[in-house]
Amino acid sequence: MCSPHENGSSCRLIGSSSLFCNVVAIADAVASNDCLVLLEGESGTGKELLARRIHGKSKRRNKPFIPVNCAGISESLFESQFFGHIRGAFTGAVSETLGVVRAAEGGTLLLDEVSEIPLHLQAKLLRLLQEWEIIPVGGTMPIRVDTRFIATANVSLAKAVKDGQFRSDLYHRLNIVRIELPPLRCRSEDIDLILDHYLDLFAVQYGMTRRVLGEDIRRQIRQHHWPGNVRELCNYVERLYAAGLPPLPPAMMSTWIEYVPHDSPPLEPQPGRITEINDESLIYTLAEAERMTILRALRLTRWNRSAASRLLEVHRSTLLRKIRAYHLFERE
């Protein structure tokens, strides 16, 4: 097995297939350089983990590694969040802000899902990557930066260029070293290794006996398409522990939210609130469906907010905000 890079107990690059090890070998080869690296691959294939490995094996390893979700940055705040601003640059700018580029000074800035940056803002990123300098909002003098850049995309940037959705000059600037991470279905020989890792991990995390999976279920797991890749496999294993589910085939696990442990009380109907989605002829608002899903996840995890947020694949702070908004309490 290729030596994994640890970044927390649950974050590992695991695999022994030639396809996987070739990817890791290329990443290790470029880690000591400061060249731009473009990581492409489907969601859940481990692009951020590979970026962290590159940073961890570089001469910048003792400096910050800052991932930036490009899809989550407001267009109006793009320059301020990336390049910072000076005091008084705009209403509300009561102090100077560095921005993520200078915050990662000496280290690595991960441009996560770089393809999501709007076309009209991509020129600003291009100038940064060409000149290695920024001008804070409200400033007049350029500031040199010493930051390494790694970019990820879950789509082909070459195709995005052809479709007119990504600047060709920015693509060629990013495409110094391009590494494509293979989907899990293309390296099925690694699935058992990854599966055993998460079986061990969640047994410890939930304080439960390690689940044992028979060869028949393992065969079905290896043959599953896994559109969500390693992230989906991780969630599959956690649900075995969090929801107390039997080792169902992956294709059946998609209905996990309908499973209720025998000792779990039934949902009590309340005026103005729908508690079960059991009639396809009815129409439900998104808010009603979301409330029911969150409530079921909380019950399945015995109101463990962290576990429920992982099951729902949302940030814990997002879940807590929605719990307050929907007035969900353990007595429900």
Distances (CA, A) of 67 to 9, 75, 84, 148, 257: 19, 18, 16, 12, 31
Last residue of one domain, picked from the residues 140, 162, 182? 182
Confidence (pTM): 0.73
Selection from 273, 282, 254, 263 nearest residue 326 by Cα: 273
| In a shared domain, residues 287 and 220 | no
Q: How do residues 94-130 score in pLDDT, each as one tens digit?
A: 567 888 999 999 999 999 999 999 999 999 999 999 9
pLDDT tens digits, one per residue of 238-261: 988 887 777 878 876 654 444 444
Boundary (domain end) residue, out of 165, 182, 199 = 182
Residue 163 and residue 116 share a domain: yes
Are residues 62 and 126 part of one domain? yes
**Same domain membership, residue 164 and residue 83:** yes
Residue type, 206: Y
* Tokens, residue 241: 């522990």
Q: What is the CATH number of the domain that holds 135?
A: 3.40.50.300
All residues at 6 or more sequence positions from 179 whose CB lies less than 8 Å from its CB, including other chains = 23, 26, 27, 37, 38, 39, 40, 50
- Whole-angstrom Cα distance, residue 78 to residue 136? 11
Considering the domain architecture, whether residues 157 and 247 belong to the same structural domain is answered as no
pLDDT over 90 percentage in the chain: 52
The answer to whether residue 255 sits within a structural domain is yes
Instruction: Please indicate, yes or no, whether residues 227 and 141 belong to a single structural domain of this protein.
Output: no
Give the range among 90-94, 170-174, 310-314 with minimum mean pLDDT. 90-94
Asked if 238 contacts 194 with a C-beta cutoff of 8 angstroms, the reply is no
CB 260 within 8 A of CB 267: no
Token digits for 135?
């001008």
Residues 311 and 220 in one domain: no
Q: Which of 259, 275, 291 is the last residue of a domain?
A: 259
Between the ranges 37-41, 217-221, 247-251, 254-258, where is the mean pLDDT highest?
A: 37-41
Same domain, 147 and 246: no
The residue type found at 148 is R
For the chain, the domain total comes to 3
Shared domain for 84 and 109, answered yes or no, is yes
Domain residues for 230? Answer: 188-259
- Between the two ends of the chain, the Cα-to-Cα distance in Å is 47
Same domain, 83 and 206: no
Phi/psi at 289 (5° precision): -65, -40
Angle in degrees, CA 297, 301, 302, rounded to 5 = 115
